[in-house]
Amino acid sequence: MVHYGHSNQLRQAKAMGDYLIVGVHTDGEISQHKGPPVFTQAERYKMVRAIKWVDEIVEGAPYVTTLETLDKYTSDFCIHGDDITLTVDGKDTYAEVKREGRYRECRRTQGVSTTDLVGRMLLMTKTHHSNNIDNSDYQQHTDNFGKGPKGHSPWTGVSQFLQTSQKIIQFASGQEAQPGDTIIYVAGAFDLFQYRPCDFLEAVSRLSDKPYVIVGLHFDQEVNRYKGKNYPIMNVHEETLSVLACRYVSEVVIGAPYAVTRELLDHFKVDLVCHGKTEVHPDKDGSDPYAGARKKGILHTVDSMNSLTTDSIVQRIIKNRLLFEARNQKKEAKEMAVIQAMKRREEEKGKERAQAVL
């Protein structure tokens, strides 16, 4: 998957240098070393390109990063998160560049991982978007992946994401609309932010030479009201970072009202309101949420030109449930083995220091 944890890693990476090149692996490489990917390589190429800190991507980057790869793309060093990436035979994929001092590390975003998100979709709990729930069923399910309270990998363990004002500041552009900008407003859930919303927002931004795109994100309970089932999978705080990381977005309204009212349009001085070709669900009272925009003649329907939905992503997971469960268990086991090895090395170093003192 491509999620806001990756975006945060790329944000940190860009701050360490001047020009950020991101290598994206093929489906074959990922399947061999980690398990089946959720998104295809073509989808991941598009999603990574849409992250605003990325200057260039390398399609089909080798899974093991070597000095030859860095030199090929005139890179001074490479960067990875503080979790460990292993080959299928358990080797560190960055061992060579680490030995030569051409490796840097950034902090992993706590509370999110592909393993966790896949676990949410496998379980599809009906209450994970609620503030007043008993998570025992969710914990019991995830314990089956080896992530129970008795010990689990700190890199892929299940945890709840905690939003902070500092993180929003880090992701936000901080740019206000300028005279002459076309202020465009769109609203929705943007759950599991993937390449269809990227295409939609890119198409929206092309409606003007100077677009200022504001995305209104609905609260979780509102999304569940009109989408039903078990949605949203990501909560509004996670969606906020996902959308802010998109290069086509200027600003986000957290907890935007479902109805695009005249007051909202006037407050943000909106020039255009855009909606995709998906169904527009009525408001709680049965009214058209876009009535005000229609009346002003500023509502535009924008075609993203692709049909990928959150539903279809979930179906991919469910269809290959056993493969993804095996992937999660395998990844967890490899990481736990590494943790135990690191612990043993630290214990051995401690004994050596103690003997040296004696």
Amino acid code (one letter) for 17: G
pLDDT given at position 79: 96
Mean pLDDT check: name the lowest of 126-130, 297-301, 321-325: 126-130
Query: How confident is the model over 12-33, as pLDDT tens digits?
Result: 999 999 999 999 999 999 888 8
pLDDT, position 142:
35
**pLDDT tens-digit profile of 171-204?**
998 899 999 999 999 999 898 877 788 999 999 9
For 233-244, what is the mean pLDDT? 91
Give the global pTM.
0.78
* Domains of the chain, CATH where assigned: 4-106 (3.40.50.620), 114-160+325-357 (no CATH), 165-311 (3.40.50.620)
pLDDT tens-digit map of 249-301: 999 999 999 999 999 999 999 999 999 988 899 999 999 999 999 999 999 99
| Selected residue with higher pLDDT from 30 and 133 | 30
